[in-house]
Chains A and B, each alone.
Chain A
């Protein structure tokens, strides 16, 4: 075996690949070759580290130096200074936003210090395409322990005791689900992994598949043993090419080493896994629609019961769990249910991964113990709101969730508290909006998404969401009528009660939660024909404040339609007929002399 004195870890998750990590990895290999260091320093590709905003990310061990926003031009300097001479390149190290303090080790920075990584435990630390690196980190030991030391019922009891709940949306207790499938009559049973991650902005499942694919395979095999299944299917979006490729490699490796296939680890247990590609329909994340799609039928939901645990894939008992749920399983088996249930809060155990995005300084992936407050995630880990703007709301749970206002920032993040507040855990999207965002517009955005993704099978969702969207559109266009709010509430209630599947039942949530916390904004739109946040184009116009305008002409230069005129050093004017409300002058004015009204 080769021994290397240093490892250069280059993030090859989708985020960093998009910001250019592939040429960087090649540059490292070339530069090390040139300096004759390639026998001493190993270049390793890894999955997502979480701080995607600062990509491409490079981590160098043994020091644990965390270099961010690395460019190919920086590579020779890192090789020469750090890897040859042992001098860390300070200027490229991560620096904390407030204190500008630079850190030499990854785990010292605020973003990571406050996280607890279980589902993401290997992401960014191992090469996902090399099975040995997974095995070195206790990989497949949980499967071995389950097969040799535990009965199938013992495995189910352990998962039940751990308190693990589904991480994909509904939050159903995983162990109970497994028990149903184990108790169901049938010679053939199936294990399915839901990797059809569809919430806008959520990418934890993709990151787990890209960074640690074996953990999902191992967990599915454990689930197969527990319920008595010998086949598993992973339903993954075709839009995730890197995840699909790494899954294929992982399945191939696991088969070659006898960790999938016949008589795993010399036991009687046999299990194999196959991939099915989804084509990006949001509704296929709903379990019955997903199963239909795996079978090759049109991806449409059907009424439940019967639940998949009794009648699932090809009408056989089936369990469906989400990627992140599976990623927790091996650790629970290895470390025990008590260990897991000690993490988190009273009713919600363990951790949850959130994809934090929107108006926040550190967009990226964070994993926190349940019960952490929204404030800690947004301010302590996420670094707060950029440009000194005020926090307005956070949208959790994707298009099925809701918007929570500043007054709820101290709320602990748990399944039940979120539902009480009118939102939900969902798959863990977290979109932060600041004072410049119109809440009616946000509701419209999410409803546009669900409306477009409605499969059309049931009328409440197909027609109801369409009518709701039309009302929101007229409100944001300044044509809102008295009684529109009540009509929205009425429609929302009916859709929630009568839609066929989760997509329809939760589609009104963004509207209901914004109505609950930001009703005054709706009223301002309808009664005063004003958008208080200045987000709805139809309801605003721009004006020059004569006192503040110094006549510098900056706005004249940026205006694409020559709508601004005026003499130099004298207050300017905006021709509202020509103005297309592009906001350029507002952004450009150095004196704050242009206002949105």
Chain B
């Protein structure tokens, strides 16, 4: 970090630094991406899916989204499962994820706010 010579520069650094720590505040109002990480999820490849999501978010510099994991929710044959939970929206569950589909969801659902219907959980 260079010498800060004005209020504007301080403000710029503050905004950048905020991304670094905003995980620690006000998490109720943020979008959450939840990856199923039970034994079934991990076996079906949930780790690469999660890493792909993290990578995609990083590439696009999106810091106001929480990525977290959860245990098995019972739909083992559809793993890896990914939930996208936005405040004031119903939870969307995506099934049979792989890294490519996961990246698509980040772009379409998180950034453009469009649910990717072809990947959501089927009526069973």
- A interface vs B, CB < 8 Å? 1-7, 9, 40, 61-64, 84-87, 125-126, 131-133, 135-141, 144, 148, 256-259, 265-266
> Contact residue range for chain B?
35 or more
* Interface residue? B111 (CB, 8 A): no
Taking a contact as CB atoms closer than 8 A, the residue among B13, B21, B58 that contacts A126 in the complex is: B21
**Closest CB-CB distance, B106 to chain A, in whole Å?**
12
What are the 10 A-B residue pairs with the smallest beta carbon separation, nearest first? A86-B69, A136-B17, A258-B3, A132-B17, A5-B67, A266-B5, A62-B66, A86-B70, A136-B18, A266-B6
**Closest CB-CB distance, A341 to chain B, in whole Å?**
26
Cβ B68 vs Cβ A3 within 8 A: no
Cβ B6 vs Cβ A40 within 8 A: no
* Interface residue? B34 (CB, 8 A): yes
Cβ B24 vs Cβ A135 within 8 A: no
Given contacts A5-B67, A62-B66, A131-B1, whether A138 and B23 have CB atoms under 8 Å apart is no
| A257 / chain B contacts, CB cutoff of 8 Å | 1-4
Cβ B27 vs Cβ A133 within 8 A: no
| A126 / chain B contacts, CB cutoff of 8 Å | 21
Cβ B14 vs Cβ A6 within 8 A: no
* Interface residue? B95 (CB, 8 A): no
**Closest CB-CB distance, A151 to chain B, in whole Å?**
16
Cβ B23 vs Cβ A140 within 8 A: no
- B interface vs A, CB < 8 Å? 1-7, 10, 13-14, 16-24, 27, 30, 32, 34-35, 37-38, 42, 50-51, 54, 57-58, 61, 63, 66-71
Cβ A5 vs Cβ B66 within 8 A: yes
Taking a contact as CB atoms closer than 8 A, the residue among B5, B23, B58 that contacts A258 in the complex is: B5
Cβ B54 vs Cβ A5 within 8 A: yes
**Complex CA–CA separation, A259 to B51 (angstroms):** 38
Given contacts A7-B23, A61-B23, A63-B68, whether A2 and B58 have CB atoms under 8 Å apart is yes
| B6 / chain A contacts, CB cutoff of 8 Å | 265-266
The residue of chain B having its C-beta at the shortest distance from the C-beta of A126 within the complex is: B21
| B66 / chain A contacts, CB cutoff of 8 Å | 5, 62
Given contacts A85-B69, A138-B14, A257-B1, whether A133 and B21 have CB atoms under 8 Å apart is yes
Cβ A132 vs Cβ B69 within 8 A: no
Cβ A136 vs Cβ B14 within 8 A: yes
| A64 / chain B contacts, CB cutoff of 8 Å | 27
Q: Which among A3, A133, A266 has the greatest number of chain B C-beta atoms within 10 A?
A: A3
**Closest CB-CB distance, A268 to chain B, in whole Å?**
13
Cβ B5 vs Cβ A3 within 8 A: no
The residue of chain B having its C-beta at the shortest distance from the C-beta of A40 within the complex is: B54
Cβ B14 vs Cβ A135 within 8 A: yes
Taking a contact as CB atoms closer than 8 A, the residue among B7, B17, B35, B57 that contacts A133 in the complex is: B17
Cβ A5 vs Cβ B4 within 8 A: no
Given contacts A62-B27, A86-B69, A144-B10, whether A3 and B17 have CB atoms under 8 Å apart is no
